[in-house]
Amino acid sequence: MNSSTSISKRWLLLFLAALLSTAGIGWLYASHLEPETQFWVSVFEKRRAEMATRSPAPHLLFTGDSACSFGIDARAITAATGIPAYNLGGTRQMGLRVFLDEALGQAQKGDTLILICNPDLLIEDPRTRATKAGAQMALALPRNSTFPEKIQASRPGFNHLMTLGAKLALGLPPFPYHLSGYQPLGQITTEIRATQTGRDKPLQKTKADVTAASNTLTLWNERCRAKGVTLTYLLPLELTHPDSLTENRNAKNLFLEKLADQNHGVTLITTPASGCSADPTLFADTLFHLTAAGAAQFSQDLALRIPR
Amino acid sequence: MNFSLPAFWLSLFAGLAVIAAATRIFRQDHAHRSLLAALSLTLLGLESAQTLAVFLFVFSVTYLALRPLAARKKPPKLLLGFVVLLQLLPLLFYKYGNFLTSQVFSEAPSLLRDLLIPVGLSFYTFQMVGLLIDTVKDRLPLPSFLNCLNFASFFPQIVAGPIERRSDLLPQLESFRFRLSWQALEHGLRWIILGLFMKLTLAENIASESAAITIDPANPFLVWLECLFFTFRIYYDFAGYSFIAYGIATSLGIRLTLNFLSPYWTTNFRDFWRRWHVSLSQWFRDYLYIPLGGNRSPYRPALILLVFAISGIWHGAGWNFILWGALHGTLVLLPPWTKFRIPKPLAWTLHFALVTFTWLFFFERDSTLLLQKVTTLLNPLTYSPDHLKAITAAFPNKSAIIATAAIIALSALAIALEGLTLKKPYALLTNRFTCLILIILIYLFQPAAYNEFIYFNF
């Protein structure tokens, strides 16, 4: 073997070593350091600890995107219904699979699982690969995930690293929410407030969207039924511009009506607000994150409509 | 055949593993070349059956016409023209059918609407037209069926070039054998790493960051920012693809044309087109410009404009592409900045600004918006302090501003590093130590969202 061949071989090995070490660092970051994942892993662990001491079924388990995490006051629901309730919500970025898997993992036969999330999450194909945040959660919890998902989780991305670097340089917290905002039975609260006027366009969903949402509900309903759990779905409360309130309510009611016509077997809960509110004082930092007071009010209204 | 997706690499490695086993049994040169053709056609077929079928049509027309045309001492130009037209037929149908008919009629027939252009059609069609003309005009020996098939279908370059000449690629493929050379592999891998860095780290992040910005067409600063984004993105997207193709071919022992030679380090448009999409520029020069009279033509300026306008429409069926081509043709005709005794850094700045400006005609397909944006950029009164202040409002949040600034800085840094080794293009970026850093950046920086290679549409 001549010297240039052996130099080339050595460099090829070095390239491979660089790739594997970077993957290792990425994996370590995703599973132990990524601020958002670490926050949610801690939240999930706290909830698991609370649920370990629960009474026998039935229970009301709420899950969904951050509208659920911030919007459901499980203590208010428990007080109003007399049934022990738990908030097991996650975030939209995690994807439906992560928080539904977590909630189903905790559910017992006879429990009712109430899914609260933006319709877009139902429309996304549930069989597609996990989102990056979802893959990172799976890596950190740890939970079963495929090899491509593990690779995906270990690649934080330019935007994430630059944003994190900038926050650290400016002395800002790397993630806006803190565990001090965790409330017993799973709700997340925040003191952050944003000036918002609300959604100014009505929800627009096509026939294909309704079918896709129905397919997702069918898929999850089958899994719930296999475990003896009842699945229900509820639209989250969204801050809406007063001028668009009626229009958006009608659009959301129409979506629910069309969804109810499909054969997915899931009970759909409707509220008088129809997923829309024009009161900005009920909302914290996004159009879907309720304040503690807003969550208590929404939860009390909801408790009256939960099927027993 | 998308080099930035894991599915391509898995298919390639699986194919190479089968070939490694097969070449232990079938050791003849002929077998190696047959296996290369099989690999190329399989990878193309994995794209879609339609992609493969259209390729086979263009190839069949080329191969079947070669023999009778090459047998004649002086084939009639009309016949040659007819065969070239046959070769171009799928390209005209898929790429321009909708555009041409919609210009004649108010609406294109439903058959032509929403047609997907088969991957690589523009590139391999031009390569096969070149093969036909070279063979017939220069009375070159007829290539064998297998060599001709390998020339037309060589997988690293079939999808997006480089568009190779017969004299450069065919002799290499005639003596092709699969053999493992660690040196070739390592050398090729360095180009693949650079290509992946350009595509996955730079072009993809530029695409995702720019997508989050709301561009007000009346704000010249934002329109310039949009143009700058595209200036970087299209270069890193296409050069990235070309370097991966170059790297794969190098690993297999085949030398392709380097399609980009640091084009943003030029100070005039003539030089720019010698360094941007090199093989396409050469194709237009050799098969269109020179046959129509070239530099000796009394209508040279009009000829240059025509060639550039055709080059424009090659990139896409739309008036904006024709305008873009014609604009470049006009700028090629103008004397370079250096003639005015302008210092080189200033000449570079003016030229780069013009290149950036012309990309607007390339990416903005809405004619109303295009006109509005051009007017904004050319009107000095729009450059107001209010518009300057409004830049930050176009970003969704402060983090987006930081990420945008960072990706622009990284893109500019990569171009600056190119400038250090202009005599040996990309020498610093394909240096082994640089490649180690690039591997880390590719792995950590690739965004979750994926965008197709821009030139796949062409």
Interface probe for A, chosen from B9, B186, B437 (most Cβ of A below 10 Å), is B186
Q: Report yes or no on A243 lying in a domain.
A: yes
Q: Do both B386 and B246 map to the same domain?
A: yes
Q: What is the mean pLDDT of chain A?
A: 90
Looking at the partner chain, which of B186, B209, B402 has a beta carbon nearest the beta carbon of A11?
B186
Chain A residue whose CA is closest to B407: A158
Q: Report yes or no on B281 lying in a domain.
A: no
Is the alpha carbon torsion for B133, B134, B136, B142 positive or negative?
negative
Residue A63, judged by CB atoms within 10 A of its CB (0-12, 13-18, 19+), counts as: buried
Q: Which of B178, B199, B228 delimits the end of a domain?
A: B178
pLDDT of residue B331: 93
Q: Which of B178, B205, B228 delimits the end of a domain?
A: B178
Q: Do both B388 and B342 map to the same domain?
A: yes
Q: Do both B130 and B39 map to the same domain?
A: yes
Q: Do both B110 and B204 map to the same domain?
A: no
Q: Report yes or no on B273 lying in a domain.
A: no
**Maximum alpha-carbon separation in chain A:** 82
Total number of domains constituting chain B: 2
Q: B331, B271 in Cβ contact below 8 A?
A: no
Q: Do both B172 and B228 map to the same domain?
A: no
ipTM value for the complex: 0.84
Q: Report yes or no on A14 lying in a domain.
A: yes
Judged by CB atoms closer than 8 Å, whether chains meet at B444 and A166 is answered as: no
Q: Report yes or no on B327 lying in a domain.
A: no
Q: Which of B178, B201, B234 delimits the end of a domain?
A: B178
Looking at the partner chain, which of A4, A159, A167 has a beta carbon nearest the beta carbon of B447?
A159
Total number of domains constituting chain A: 1
**DSSP single-letter state for residue B267:** S
Q: A303, A80 in Cβ contact below 8 A?
A: yes
Residues of chain B found within 8 Å of residue A148, distances taken between Cβ atoms: 6
Q: Do both B69 and B207 map to the same domain?
A: no
Q: Do both B346 and B262 map to the same domain?
A: yes
pLDDT along chain B (458 residues), means of 10: 87 94 87 94 92 94 90 82 92 83 68 75 94 90 94 92 93 92 95 96 93 92 96 96 96 95 94 95 94 90 94 88 94 82 89 96 92 95 92 87 93 95 93 96 87 69
Q: Report yes or no on A252 lying in a domain.
A: yes
Q: How far is A131 from chain B (nearest CA, A)?
A: 8
pLDDT at A129 over 80: no
pLDDT at A166 over 70: yes
Which domain, by its residues, includes B64? 6-178
**What confidence tier does A265 reach under pLDDT thresholds 50, 70, 90?**
confident
Looking at the partner chain, which of B209, B432, B443 has a beta carbon nearest the beta carbon of A19?
B443
Identify which of A105, A181, A107, A167 has the alpha carbon closest to the alpha carbon of residue A142. Answer: A105
Judged by CB atoms closer than 8 Å, whether chains meet at B447 and A157 is answered as: yes
| Burial B442-452, CB ≥16 within 10 A → b, else e | bbbbbbbeebe
pLDDT of residue B71: 80
Q: Report yes or no on B329 lying in a domain.
A: no
**What confidence tier does A127 reach under pLDDT thresholds 50, 70, 90?**
low
Q: Do both B67 and B202 map to the same domain?
A: no
Q: Report yes or no on B452 lying in a domain.
A: no
Judged by CB atoms closer than 8 Å, whether chains meet at A166 and B407 is answered as: no
Judged by CB atoms closer than 8 Å, whether chains meet at A158 and B446 is answered as: yes
**DSSP single-letter state for residue A264:** -
Q: How far is B231 from chain A (nearest CA, A)?
A: 20
Q: Do both B111 and B143 map to the same domain?
A: yes
Q: Report yes or no on B210 lying in a domain.
A: yes
Q: Report yes or no on B311 lying in a domain.
A: no
Which domain, by its residues, includes A94? 3-303
Q: Do both B166 and B219 map to the same domain?
A: no
**Alpha carbon A213 to chain centroid distance?**
16
Q: Do both B142 and B193 map to the same domain?
A: no
Give the containing element (helix H, strand E) for A276: strand A276-277
The tokens 């072009």 sit on which residue?
Answer: B203
Chain A residue whose CA is closest to B431: A11
Q: Report yes or no on B309 lying in a domain.
A: no
Q: Do both B243 and B158 map to the same domain?
A: no
d(CA A31, CA B380) in angstroms, rounded, equals: 53
Chain B residue whose CA is closest to A25: B444
pLDDT tens digits for range A213-264: 999 999 999 999 999 999 999 999 999 999 999 999 999 999 999 999 988 8
